[in-house]
């Protein structure tokens, strides 16, 4: 941990250096589009997003060094803008549920854009009063914020070029592999492994996604191992038990039967595990969580006048004006959403008022909680999924009571409408929480490099608006091209290309289950039991190893909920990270491996981000090509060059490409200094 006091402000208050420049905002907008599209694709594919601060900072430094007068503060503004928009893409954890519910047939541009923009901007405003208490006067470590500040400080011009080369190399490799797999169809995306013993079907598919390889490197060995444990519970215990117990339907092969049982039953074990693990995580952080909420309430009573020379926040008058405007926007779009369903204006106003009040109250508390947890354990480790589950339960219960009192459930389609209204409202809360989860990290970075807080807050607001304009377009494009689990826009689509949208599937199932009473509590209850066992195992490991070993229970639940072909490359990426760390420590020998580990972490982060961005961007571009082809009466695989792609040769080619990716990730992350 690096004490923030020792790394404070090389250019206090900016001292006249340009910060929020037009060229910086344009570059930030371009990076925003790239990373937001990448995060939307990755989130819909696997249910996770990646932190974009460090890659955005490297790109900014590499590009702006060609312009006269560029400086550390301008680069900081660019990464601030880009990272906020990247985090806003977490609304994909809820919004696709509207398609799965069948309430929307396509993503409405303006409604989705306004939801994302209003929720994201509220997340910015809710965290402004927390800055002085949580950033300036707090000893919270802010791991990502301090790392981004170090990148901005120490990178020389060669370092910028080298960092950009790593990012680009990872992107080129991943993009080429994705094109071969999902575009040209000459390589398989997974390798199925299965074994039948009596009536039991054992299966463990290996995936070849470069993006997930990079994600695994960022997750680390503890999370990667926990995800693998969850995968093995489902693949080697739950599925064999279910296939042995449930008779095989006539005309269905055993593999299809196992897949149907996983979708209908086994994955709900993961829902239960995720729910109890999320609640446990929040309970373990209850003291700092309450402290964060207390700080927020105290800060709201008076003006944050700055921090002694580093500049001031946006004025309270401006904050209150923007708050009023954003709440009015949320009420207006919610009211329009309700009246479109044929609900009378009076009841629509009541429901929209209650929804807006829930957004404000839950959002304010969640902002303080997420901000504090992000400062304590990092944005990547903060349990946004758990916050989403709690939010959907609270909002669903509120609307259930209102629906019963108003008689909406007696109307045709009333239950589905109230479920959709819950998802619509929760999407705003998720936007707030995801931005709050990231913004204090950015403000910490700005504090350490001497940025002007109010300018950085403006950059955060700009990032939210730009990201919101991109998100709805990308979601709609991906839906039309690939489809989501339970939401296929047309018949005959390739099921191997479907995006699972795991969080959205889970949130929709919980909300729909609360309103219909059809939630399968049997398997959720069993999953809760597995979650309790995972929590106990994690506590035991931490105690026996003095905190060196852990088994994050939330990651176990994610491994149970996601398919094996998604989880296996994540574990491989985590193993690469762990083996590199062991190698560097073994070679250092004298305990002086710290600088080498830090350098490897920075290089690995850039390569991993490149792997994620490359595959994701190819996926988005391919979506555009597929939609254009289908619209003109063509194939949904317009670039495919051979029917043999899914045969044994295709899988072997996919395996070879993945092995190459593992080798190059190792080589690039290790760097020249550690090669022997």
Cβ-Cβ contacts under 8 Å for 540 (sequence gap 6 or more): none
Which of 110-114, 138-142, 475-479, 565-569 has the least mean pLDDT? 138-142
- 584-640 pLDDT, tens digit each: 888 876 566 778 888 888 888 888 888 888 887 888 888 888 888 877 777 777 887
- Nearest CA to 425 out of 515, 567, 330 is that of 330
Q: What is the largest CA-CA distance in the chain?
A: 76
CA dist 451 and 307 (Å) reads 12
Position 112 confidence tier, pLDDT thresholds 50, 70, 90: very high
What's the pLDDT score for residue 160? 58
CA dist 178 and 214 (Å) reads 14
Q: Is the pLDDT score of 304 beyond 50?
A: no
What's the pLDDT score for residue 252? 84
Position 373 confidence tier, pLDDT thresholds 50, 70, 90: low
Position 393 confidence tier, pLDDT thresholds 50, 70, 90: confident
User: In a 3-state reduction of DSSP, which class is residue 484?
Assistant: strand
Which of 202-211, 354-363, 667-676 has the least mean pLDDT? 667-676
What's the pLDDT score for residue 590? 57
What's the pLDDT score for residue 425? 94
- 170-182 pLDDT, tens digit each: 889 999 998 988 8
- 129-175 pLDDT, tens digit each: 778 777 877 666 776 777 778 778 765 445 556 777 888 898 899 99
Q: How many CB atoms lie within 10 A of CB 536?
A: 12
Q: Is the pLDDT score of 196 beyond 50?
A: yes
- The chain-wide mean pLDDT, for the chain, equals 82
Q: Is the pLDDT score of 308 beyond 50?
A: no
Position 5 confidence tier, pLDDT thresholds 50, 70, 90: very low
Q: Is the pLDDT score of 225 beyond 90?
A: yes
Q: Is the pLDDT score of 2 beyond 70?
A: no
Q: What mean pLDDT is predicted for residues 18-26?
A: 88
Q: What mean pLDDT is predicted for residues 519-527?
A: 85
Position 335 confidence tier, pLDDT thresholds 50, 70, 90: very high
Which of 194-203, 426-435, 494-503, 655-664 has the least mean pLDDT? 494-503
User: In a 3-state reduction of DSSP, which class is residue 455?
Assistant: helix
CA dist 412 and 419 (Å) reads 13
- CB 553, CB 277: distance < 8 Å: yes
- 63-98 pLDDT, tens digit each: 888 888 888 888 889 888 887 766 777 788 888 999
Q: Is the pLDDT score of 116 beyond 70?
A: yes
- Nearest CA to 375 out of 444, 423, 311, 313 is that of 444
């Amino acid at each position: 941990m690096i004490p923030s006091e020792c790394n404070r402000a090389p250019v206090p208050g900016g001292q006249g250096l340009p910060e929020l420049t037009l060229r910086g905002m344009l570059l930030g907008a371009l990076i925003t589009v790239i990373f937001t599209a990448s995060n939307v694709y990755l989130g819909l594919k696997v249910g996770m997003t990646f932190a974009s601060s460090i890659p955005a900072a490297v790109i900014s430094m590499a590009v702006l060094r060609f312009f006269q007068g560029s400086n550390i503060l301008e680069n900081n503004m660019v990464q601030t803008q880009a990272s906020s928009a990247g985090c806003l893409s977490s609304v994909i954890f809820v919004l696709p549920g509207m398609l799965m519910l069948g309430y929307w047939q396509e993503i409405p541009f303006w409604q989705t854009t306004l939801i994302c923009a209003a929720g994201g901007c509220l997340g910015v405003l809710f965290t402004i009063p927390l800055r002085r208490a949580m950033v300036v006067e707090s000893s919270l470590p802010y791991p990502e914020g301090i790392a981004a500040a170090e990148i901005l400080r120490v990178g020389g011009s060669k370092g910028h070029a080298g960092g950009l080369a790593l990012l680009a190399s990872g992107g080129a490799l991943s993009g080429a592999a994705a094109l071969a797999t999902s575009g040209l169809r000459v390589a398989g995306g997974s390798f199925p492994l299965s074994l039948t013993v009596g009536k039991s079907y054992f299966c463990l598919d290996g995936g070849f996604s470069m993006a997930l390889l990079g994600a695994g490197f960022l997750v680390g060995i503890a999370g990667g191992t926990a995800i693998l444990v969850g995968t093995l519970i489902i693949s080697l215990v739950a599925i064999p038990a279910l296939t042995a117990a449930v008779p095989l339907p006539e005309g269905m092969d055993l593999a299809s039967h196992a897949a149907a049982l996983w979708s209908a039953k086994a994955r709900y074990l993961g829902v239960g595990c995720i729910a109890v693990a999320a609640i446990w995580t929040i309970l373990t952080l209850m003291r700092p969580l309450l402290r964060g909420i207390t700080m927020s309430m105290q800060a709201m009573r008076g003006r944050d006048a700055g921090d002694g020379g580093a500049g001031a926040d946006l004025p309270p008058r401006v904050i209150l004006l923007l708050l009023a405007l954003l709440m009015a926007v949320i009420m207006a779009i919610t009211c329009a959403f309700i009246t479109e369903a044929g609900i009378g204006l009076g009841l629509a106003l009541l429901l929209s008022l209650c929804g807006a009040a829930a957004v404000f109250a839950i959002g304010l508390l969640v902002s303080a909680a997420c901000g504090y947890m992000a400062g304590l354990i990092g944005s990547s480790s903060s349990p946004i999924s758990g916050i989403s589950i709690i939010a959907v339960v609270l909002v669903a219960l509120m609307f259930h009571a209102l629906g019963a009192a108003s008689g909406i459930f007696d109307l045709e389609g009333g239950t589905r409408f109230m479920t959709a209204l819950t998802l619509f409202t929760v999407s705003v809360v998720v936007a707030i929480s995801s931005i709050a989860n990231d913004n204090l990290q950015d403000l910490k970075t700005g504090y350490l490099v001497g940025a002007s807080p109010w300018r950085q807050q403006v950059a955060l607001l700009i990032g939210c608006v730009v990201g919101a304009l991109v998100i709805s377009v990308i979601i709609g494009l991906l839906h039309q091209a690939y489809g989501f689990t339970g939401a296929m826009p047309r018949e005959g689509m390739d099921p191997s290309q479907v995006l699972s949208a795991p969080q959205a599937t889970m949130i929709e199932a919980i909300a729909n289950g609360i309103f219909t009473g059809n939630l399968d509590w049997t398997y959720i209850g069993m999953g809760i039991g597995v979650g309790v066992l995972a929590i106990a195992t994690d506590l035991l490991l931490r105690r026996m190893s003095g905190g060196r070993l852990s088994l994050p229970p939330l990651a176990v639940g994610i491994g149970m909920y996601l398919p094996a072909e998604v989880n296996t490359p994540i574990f491989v990426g985590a193993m690469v990270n762990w083996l590199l760390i062991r190698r560097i420590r073994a070679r250092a020998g004298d305990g002086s491996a710290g600088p080498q580990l830090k350098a490897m972490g920075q290089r690995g982060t850039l390569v991993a981000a490149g792997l994620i961005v490359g595959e994701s961007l190819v996926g988005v571009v391919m979506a555009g090509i597929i939609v254009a082809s289908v619209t003109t009466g063509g194939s949904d695989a317009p670039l495919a060059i051979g029917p043999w792609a899914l045969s044994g040769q295709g899988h072997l080619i996919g395996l070879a490409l993945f092995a190459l990716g593992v080798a190059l990730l190792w080589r690039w992350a290790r760097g020249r200094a550690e090669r022997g």
